[in-house]
Amino acid sequence: MIGKLKKHALVDWQAFDTVLLDMDGTLLDRHFDDYFWEQYLPEQYAAKNGLVLAESRQQLLGLYKKREGTLEWTDLDFWSEKLGLDIPELKIQIDHLIAVHPFVIDFLRYIKKNGKDLHLVTNAHSKTLDIKMRKTAIGGYFDRIICSAEVGLAKEAPEFWQRLEDLLKFNPARTLLADDTEKVLNAAADYGLAGLVFVAKPSSQRPIVLSAQYPSIVYFKELMYPV
């Protein structure tokens, strides 16, 4: 298993012009999302439909599983209609749990200081993006923010990366991607992205899980050193 990156272990920053960063779990603490989908929403769905919590959670987890890796999985309008609940409003009710991971702001400043093109690339729905950008105020660091719906595919799809290159005009051989999902990194690797980094602690409430395939970091400070 590949351990945490050591100083100078992965990134020769002179080799990269473009940095692509995932949002949930990578820049932001995934505890918010885990709690929302696994606890808070099942509670609301149970109350609405007269279910015990365990039954509600089982039903919802089954629905989630069928749509993982698709645009529907993150489509708040889809889930609002499917479940008969106002999903964006429910997210706002617990938005105090939205948090930026340690050292993320320092890293974003570091990347911009060193003249790299910086883009946020997320599967999140535009309404989720709006909620989180208002709460965290990190949007101003990015040259462009891309939601998968704009591309028309989830990041797990190999074709996503060709479409993204068409939008952003980056050179895959000089581009680095950081993400907390191996399936996304696999798709990017197949397309030819040269730099791939796995975020091994997406949630502050869950243990570190290192990747067996990709160099892993816990915090972005591990990628910050003189260029």
Report the CATH number that the domain containing residue 206 is assigned in CATH. Answer: 3.40.50.1000
| Beta strands across the sheet bearing 18-21 | 144-147, 117-122, 18-21, 175-179, 195-199, 216-217
196 and 172 in a common domain: yes
pLDDT above 90: percentage of residues in the chain: 91
Residue 113: inside a domain? yes
Q: What is the pLDDT of residue 2?
A: 39
152 and 63 in a common domain: no
Residue 187, CA distances (Å) to 5, 24, 172, 196, 218 in order: 22, 18, 12, 11, 22
133 and 214 in a common domain: yes
Q: What is the pLDDT of residue 7?
A: 39
Count of structural domains, the chain: 2
Task: Report whether pLDDT(1) > 70.
Answer: no
Average of pLDDT values for 66-90? 94
Q: What is the pTM (predicted TM-score) of this model?
A: 0.93
Residue 7: inside a domain? no
In angstroms, rounded to a whole number, what is the distance separating the alpha carbons of residues 83 and 60? 9
Q: What is the pLDDT of residue 226?
A: 60
Phi, psi of 113, deg, nearest 5: -60, -35
129 and 88 in a common domain: no
Average of pLDDT values for 67-88? 94
157 and 130 in a common domain: yes
Q: What domain range includes position 127?
A: 13-29+99-223
67 and 111 in a common domain: no
135 and 61 in a common domain: no
What is the per-residue pLDDT across 98-153, written as a single tens digit (0 to 9) for each? 999 999 999 999 999 999 999 999 999 999 999 999 999 999 999 999 999 999 99
43 and 142 in a common domain: no
Among 96, 131, 150, where does a domain finish? Answer: 96
